Each structure stands twice: as structure tokens, then as C-alpha cells.
Amino acid sequence: PPHRPLFGKHVLITAGPTHEPIDPVRYIANRSSGKQGFAIAAAAAQLGARVTLVSGPVTLPTPVGVDRVDVETARDMAEAVKRTLPVDVAIMVAAVADWRTQDVAAEKMKKRGSAPPALRLTENPDILAMVSVSDKRPKLVVGFAAETEKVIQHATEKRQRKGADWIVANDVSGDVMGGNINAVHIVTAQGVESLPEMPKDDVARALVERIADALVPPASS
Ligand code: C5P
């Protein structure tokens, strides 16, 4: 019989970048492809979970058996996440824009031969931190940390600061963002497990198996 240890569990995943509008035709974005988050959604569904995938703008097909909610901005993503709670597990993989423009121009901004416009930025909601302190907090809250230096130290601090149970840290100083390969360190209260470099699909499977084990500890006999 298929191994479905996440049957009966609802898993919420965020993935992809967010787009923060500047004017009707321009936006602030980042290099996130959504691949790692979509791979985790697919892996969780394969293990029997009910999966809600809240995705920023990406060009990926929806994995089989996954409910997908498309959003554009960080604030849209935060709303979609709030509406989806309560869940058993939240895995926040999205590369949420830290800042958005304070005011979105109603019309396309023009050059008009004058000085370039200054963008006034304001902070976006931190969705992971919000989920961690929610009165509907999932049993397991997993965040990601894309770091370019001192990867494990920064991830350990991020775990505490954001109130996540686990932080999956990856070194994005190479071509991880947009690529198919990832090397991650899973930082928990118990310590750090470093996985070798492998395809994002395999990272997804390894992570989701550990999540299943954490939710349903194997019976001792
Ligand atoms: O602080 P930093 O952006 O490095 O944190 C990364 C983690 O926090 C990821 O899990 C990401 O999905 C989540 N995050 C979020 N909302 C934000 C910023 C980050 O959920 N506004």
C-alpha cells in the first residue's frame, strides 16, 4: 500500500516571489522561481496531506492533488494565509518582498526629462512571524532562510526571532535561486541536520518525511 503518513493533515505552503507594484506597469520582485516550494507541495501531497499552496507569480504548473491560491503582493499572501488557518503544518518557502512602495502611482510614471523618481518604501508584513504567534498557530511552523554568509548562525537566530519551530537554511550565494539544486541545513531546537547538495525534489521529499516523523513519532516497540 502507498505510504501516506500525512493523511488527514492539512499543510499550508507559501512559495514564489511577491510582486510589489510601483505603477500600473512596474513592480519590485526577486529571483525566486517557486521551484522549492512547489516541490514541497508535491511531496506533501504524495505523502497523503491535504495541501494548500499560496503562490506568488510563477510560471510553474500546479502539482497533482494540491489546492493552489495565486497572489501577487505580500499583503495578498498574508491574507490568503490567514484565511487558510487553522492547519496542522505551515511551511513558509516564499521569498516575500521585505518592502513595498508606500504609494502606488495611479498612472504610468513618466521620464519627463526631470530627475528620476525616488521610491518611498515601507515594510511588508512578516507572514512567518505572524503565523508563529497566531492563536491558530499550527503544530509545526517551518520557515526558510536564504543566506549568503554565516548560513547556520543566521538561521539559528532567525528561528528564535520569528518563533518558527524549524528553519531550513540554504546558501544562495551560488545559483540556488531559480536553479534545480539545493543544499540545506534543517535547524531545529534539537540542533542542525545538514543535507548534501541534491535536486530540489529530493530536498522536498527529505523535508516532508521529517515533518511526517515529527507529527507522528514512530511507535516504540
Ligand atoms: O527574514 P527573512 O525574509 O530572511 O525570512 C525568511 C523566512 O520568512 C521565509 O520562511 C519566508 O517565507 C518568511 N517570510 C515571510 N514574510 C515576510 C518575509 C519573510 O513569511 N515578509
pTM (predicted TM-score): 0.95
* Unique residue bearing C-alpha cell 510614471: 109
Quick check: is 157 in a domain? yes
Q: Which residues participate in catalysis according to the annotation?
A: 30
Contact partners, residue 163, CB within 8 Å, separation at least 6: 129, 132, 133, 141
Structural domain range at position 138:
10-99+121-215
What ipTM does the predicted assembly reach?
A: 0.97
Please state the rounded mean pLDDT for residues 27-41.
Answer: 96
- Among 13, 91, 126, which is best to mutate for testing ligand 1, by the most ligand atoms less than 8 A from CB? 126
pLDDT (average), residues 68-73:
98
Asked if 79 and 96 touch (Cβ cutoff 8 Å), the reply is no
Residue 41 lies in a domain: yes
Q: Whose CA is nearest to atom 13 of ligand 1?
A: 128
How many angstroms separate the CA atoms of 221 and 202, rounded?
Answer: 30
User: Does 126 belong to an annotated binding site?
Assistant: yes
**3-class secondary structure, 217:** coil
Distance 126 CA to ligand 1 centre (A): 6
Residue 185 forms part of a structural domain: yes
The answer to the question of whether 127 is labelled as a binding residue is yes
> 110 lies in a domain?
no
How many domains would you assign to the chain? 1
pLDDT one-digit tens code per residue, 154-211: 999 999 999 999 999 988 877 777 788 888 999 999 999 999 999 999 999 999 999 9
- Cell readout for 97 is 518582498
Q: What residues are paired with 51 via a beta bridge? A: 11, 66
Q: How far apart are CA 86 and CA 3, in angstroms?
A: 25
CATH number (domain holding residue 53): 3.40.50.10300
Burial class of residue 202 (count of CB atoms within 10 Å of its CB; 0-12, 13-18, 19+)? middle
For residues 182 and 175, give the distance between their C-alpha atoms in angstroms, rounded to a whole number. Answer: 9
Q: Is residue 104 a part of any domain in this protein?
A: no
Q: Give domain status of residue 105, yes or no.
A: no
Phi, psi of 74 (to 5 degrees): -60, -40
The predicted-structure confidence for 115-160, as pLDDT tens digits, reads as follows 888 999 999 999 999 999 999 999 999 999 988 899 999 999 999 9
Q: What's the rounded Cα separation, in Å, for the pair 86 and 208?
A: 19
Residue 71 included in any domain? yes
Examine residue 1 and state whether it is found in any structural domain, yes or no: no
Atom of ligand 1 nearest to the CA of 130: 20
